[in-house]
Every structure is written in C-alpha cells, then in structure tokens.
Amino acid sequence: MPTGRDITSGKRNSSGKKNANCSFCRKSYREVGPLVEGPDNAYICGECIEVCQSILEQEHRRRGTTKKLFKNVPTPREIVTHLNEYVIGQERAKKVMA
C-alpha cells in the first residue's frame, strides 16, 4: 500500500506539485483542501475519498458481503463433549459454557 503525502506542506514542490489537482474530480487543493498523493503523481481529495467509501459500502450492502468471524463454530453438544475430556464434574458449568 503506498504511503500518502499531504501536498500542502510545501516539502515537495520542486516539480510543481503544489499546483496538483485531484485525479478524480480535477479540483485543485485550494478548492478542496489537502490532497493525498498516490503512485505516479495521482492525487485524491477528501471529498472523493468519502464518495469512494460510500460506493464501496453500498456495494458491500448490495452483495451482502460480510466477513464471518468464526467459520467452524462447534455446537453446544460438541463443546460439552470437549469439556468432558478435561473437566470432571461441574455439569451445570459445562452447559452454561456451551
């Protein structure tokens, strides 16, 4: 992942980068504020970042893509069976754990 730089700091202006525009909306940093620099002199403003984030969130909702935290969750019976191998007695506690 490339590291971004704020071009308004003035540290890298030797090649005219202070006059850069957002590569998405073409607005200058004077219009939209700080720009984040990507590879090959690509820039993006905060407004376009928000639009991109919104598009990605809508697509995830449309597809219903969610990450599963647990792929193989054991059943309560499997949990009790596993606990029986290590814990003697305490049946009520095992059931509560399961």
Is the full-model pTM beyond 0.85? no
Residue 25: its pLDDT value, please?
96
pLDDT band at residue 14 using 50, 70 and 90 as cut-offs: very low
Lookup result for tokens 């399961």: 98
Q: Which of 47, 52, 2 is nearest to 22 (CA)?
A: 47
Task: Centre a 10 Å sphere on the Cβ of residue 59 and count the other Cβ atoms it contains.
Answer: 10
Residue 38: its pLDDT value, please?
92
Q: Judge residue 8's burial from the number of C-beta atoms within 10 Å of its C-beta, 0-12 exposed, 13-18 middle, 19 or more buried.
A: middle
